[in-house]
Each structure stands twice: as C-alpha cells, then as structure tokens.
Structure 1
Amino acid sequence: MDITGNLVVFGGGAGIGRATCLAFAKAGARGILVADINLGSAQDVATETKAAATNPDFRAEAVHVDIISEESVNSALKQMVHSFGRIDYCVVCAGAAAKRCLEIADSNVAEFIRLQNLNVNGTYFVLRAVLAIMQSQEPRPNFAESPDRGTTRGAVVTLGSILSCSVEPGGMQYTTSKHAVLGLTKSAALDSAKYGIRVNCVCPAYTDTGMVKQLILDNPGMVAPTGPMGRLGRPEEIADAIAFLCSPRSSYVTGCPFLVDGGITISYH
C-alpha cells in the first residue's frame, strides 16, 4: 500500500479510528498521533500500534483533543508537527450519531445543534488547520518510479456516511451533518488540488462499533440494516478503504465519496 509517512487520527481511540491506526501501523507508517477526547483510550491505541508496527523506526503518541474546540484541534496538530515534523495523512473519525426523530417537525433543536457542532464544525476545524500545514510542506513524489503520477504534500480522509449520499426516515439530524461533511470534503479537495493535497470522504454503512451499538440502545426497536451482504461492516474494512485513499495507489482520486456499504445503497427504495 506504500504507507510510509506520518498519520494523525482524530477520534483514534475507538471504533473506526482505532482500526485505522492499527491498519496504518501494520502497513508501514513511520509515526502515528492518536487524538481523542478520551486520553486513556488514545494512549491504549498508541500502545497497540507499537506492538503492531512493521516500520523499524515507528513511533506513536497520544493527545487529548476536543474536536468542537478550534483551539484544541490546533494544539493537537501543533504537537503532531513538533513530534513528527510532517503530516502525510490526516483522518477525521471523531463524531457522533443521534437519537431518531419521527419527522423534522418533531425534532429536537438541541440535538440538531449538537450534531452539527461535532460532525460539521469539528471536521471544518481540522480541515482548516491541517490543510494550512500541508500547504507549507515540501512536495514528495507519489511514486519515484512513476513521475507522471505527480507529487503530494499530504492526503486527508474525512468520515462521512451512506447518509452523506442518501436519506432514511428519522435520521434528519445525522443526515444533515454528514451531507455537510461531504460538502466540506469536496470544497477542500477543489481548493487543495493545486497544492498536491488530496481530500476524500469514506462513507460507511452501519459498522460494528460502539457508536452503532449505542445508537440501537438509544432507539428501542431499531434494527441496523445490513443490505444484500447480510451483515454489518467491520471497522477494519472501513480502515482499509481509508488506507487506500491515503496511499499513492489512489493518486488520481480526490473529492470522492467512497461508499463502503455492503451494497445497502443499491438496495434502498
């Protein structure tokens, strides 16, 4: 996969973020900063990556971050640059789901605002800061043996959802936030292409994570759809897609909503 650089993962302490950290460590990343609101979880994942790493020069650190705080996001990225010197890959996994509402007319205003703060504002704060850092970095060849593939200053992946591209009953708050994440991603990709920075959005279906389990607990009677493949996604499967979009194997891919959904969206009515 040619993953040899330094990675920062926002929301790296659990679920898809944790799986991403481990996937990059196994693929050969040189350094990983695990950023999470739960510092203990981030430290645990950093330790796990050290055990899984294949790069002999591998290092990992953990940092507390509150993604709805611009200052906290900037501080985490400052630590990343100080510790590792360069940000080659940035993944934004931090976010939240929401309790279902029957219709927009009966929705909870506070819940709507909470989701936009976490999923939209948080993603915006990360993109704004990390892209400024990447723009100042020296470009490197995507493939030394294939100069026609151009150069890179970094790659960013945001975490959208199948609800970035579709809708389902009762999911207005979450759907709105994830549509916005995809919009941010596309805008960032358009702005960043001239700098050799790619920005893409992985859009998973229901995945076997603590967040999805909590969503089902919070919404009695809800059954997570599994689609044609008949199962939930695994965090590792989403992490593999993220790794591909960060790697030079996807050097001509930017502004893309990359569906990883077991065929759910093709079976939606």
Structure 2
Amino acid sequence: MDITGNAVVFGGGGGIGRSTALLFSQSGASAVVIADLNLEAAESAAAEAKRVATNPNCRVEALRVDVAVQDSVDSVFQHVTTSIGRIDYCINCAGFPVKTARPTADADVDEFFRVQDINLRGTFFVVRAACAIMRSQKLIPNLAAFPERGSTRGAIVTLGSVLSFGASPYLVQYTTSKHAVLGLTKTAALDHVKDGIRVNCVCSTWVDTNMTKQVCEDVPGLEAILVPSVPMGRIAKAEEIADAIVFLSSPRASFVTGCPFIIDGGTSLSSNR
C-alpha cells in the first residue's frame, strides 16, 4: 500500500492498535513508534513489529503515554520529532472500555467523564498535536509516479464506532464519546485539508480483542447478543480494522478525508438491531 514513511500508533500495545502497528511494519514503514499506557505491552508489540518488518532499516520504539494527559501526549510527539523526524501517519487507537450498562438516568457520572477523558480528550490531544506538527512538514507527492494525485504532509486516523452514527441502550458514556470523535475528525479534516493533511475515522462494530472480552464480562448478557446482531455472523478481527487504518493512511486513499469508514459486517444496514 505504498507505506514508506514513519508511523506513530497511540494505544498500540494491544488489540486494534497492536495489529495496526504490526501492519505498518509489515507494509514497509521506515519507523513505527508504539505508545501505550502499558509500557510492557508496548515493548512486546515493538519487539514483534521489529521481527515482522519488511524494511530492513525500520526503526521501532515503544513509549509510555496517558492520552488523557496533554503533557504526556505532547512528550511523545516531541520525542518522535526529535528522534525520528517526520511523522507521516498518526493513529489513535487508545480507548476505554465500558464498565457499566445502565439507562441514562442511572448512568455512573464518574465513568461517563472517564470515558470522555480517554476517548474524546485523548483523541483531541493526539489530533491537535499531530496537525500542528504535520502542517510544518515538507509537502511531498502522494505518489511520485502520479503527480495529479496531489501532495501530502501527513495522514491521521481516529477510531470511532458504528455508535458514532446511532445509539445503543444503556451506553450513553460510550455513544457520546464516539459521536464527538467523529465530529472532531470531520472538523480537523476541513481545517487542515489545505495544509495537505488528511484526517479520517474508522467506525467499527465489536472487534475480537481483550477489551471486548472484558466488556462482555462486565456487562451481563452482552456476549449472547453480539454475534446475532451482525449479519455476517461474526465479530471483526483486529487485523481487519488494521487493514482499513493502513489503507486510509496510505497514498492509495489520497482523495479521502473527513470520511467515517464503516466496518461492521452489515450491522448498520438494518434498523432492527
């Protein structure tokens, strides 16, 4: 997919983020920086990314980050720009699982704002910093052989959800955060399209990750309805979401910005979910 530049993956220690970091490495990236709250998980992912790298000079690093803290996010970007230089692809996969499923009137206030801290504030801090850095970078062709496809200073991908469009009972904290992430993505895309920066949002349904398993343990009865709610008869694999993320980051998506890229096995096609 013509991946030749440097990638930074927030939340890259596990799940979708880990699969994304590995795919960047497998696709020929020059550098992959994996940032996660769990440094041990980030280091494990970095070791695997180094093993599967197809670019023999690929540089892989692991860093600790708390995306809910602006200084923590900014320190990652400062390290990357100082140590590696240009940032071509920035991905935010950091997220916070739902612990309780209740009607809005009974929603846990602390959990509501904790979810916003990670899913929304964290995405804002990452996107804001990435845009600020990328707009000062050199403008380069998307594809040198096809100058008519324009130029780029970088690409950013956020993680939304099918709940960025609709709603689900008892998940006000999660639904609110993902509506906001999509709005943030669209606005950043408009604000920086003239800077040569593309910003897109991958909107998936349930994915087979440890986070999903934890949510199923925390929310009674959820697991029993997940697969039946998907027309394809299964939930997504993390690698399938990573495929879309890397595509949207690549010059193959040179005319795509502000896009909510839905990956849900047909779930959103029916109103009877």
Scaled to the shorter chain, the TM-score interval is over 0.9
Q: Post-superposition shift, 1:101?
A: 3.2
Q: Separation in 2 of the partners of 1:40 and 1:104?
A: 36
Q: Which moved more, 1:11-20 or 1:48-57?
A: 48-57
Q: Post-superposition shift, 1:103?
A: 1.6
Q: Separation in 2 of the partners of 1:222 and 1:63?
A: 34
Q: Separation in 1 of the partners of 2:30 and 2:135?
A: 21
- Normalised by the length of structure 1, the TM-score is 0.98
Q: Separation in 2 of the partners of 1:175 and 1:114?
A: 13
Q: Secondary structure at the match of 1:225?
A: helix
The equivalent residue for 2:232 is: 229
User: 1:6-27 deviations in whole A, cap 9, x for unaligned?
Assistant: 0000000000000000111111
Q: Post-superposition shift, 1:100?
A: 3.9
- Normalised by the length of structure 2, the TM-score is 0.97
Q: Which runs of 4+ in 1 moved over 6 A?
A: none
Identity, in percent, stands at 56
**Structure 1 spans left out of the alignment, 5+ residues:** none
The equivalent residue for 1:113 is: 113
The equivalent residue for 1:195 is: 195
Q: Post-superposition shift, 1:83?
A: 1.8
User: 1:150-193 deviations in whole A, cap 9, x for unaligned?
Assistant: 10000000001111111111111100000000010001000010
- 1:225 corresponds to which letter in structure 2? L
The equivalent residue for 2:69 is: 69
User: 1:186-237 deviations in whole A, cap 9, x for unaligned?
Assistant: 0100001000000000011100001100000001121252311101100000
Q: Separation in 1 of the partners of 2:100 and 2:39?
A: 29
* Matched pairs, number: 269
Q: Post-superposition shift, 1:144?
A: 0.8
Q: Separation in 1 of the partners of 2:97 and 2:149?
A: 38
Q: Post-superposition shift, 1:105?
A: 0.8
Q: Does 1:250 align with 2:245?
A: no
Q: Post-superposition shift, 1:143?
A: 0.9
Q: Separation in 1 of the partners of 2:82 and 2:267?
A: 42
Q: Post-superposition shift, 1:97?
A: 2.1
Q: 1:38 to 1:102 in 2, by over 3 A?
A: closer
CA RMSD of aligned residues (A): 0.9
The equivalent residue for 2:172 is: 172
Q: Does 1:19 align with 2:19?
A: yes
The residue correspondences of 1:81-92 to structure 2 (distance < 5 A) are 81-92=81-92
Q: Secondary structure at the match of 2:236?
A: coil
The equivalent residue for 2:43 is: 43
Given that 2:241 and 2:263 are in contact with CA atoms closer than 8 Å, whether structure 1 keeps it comes out as: yes
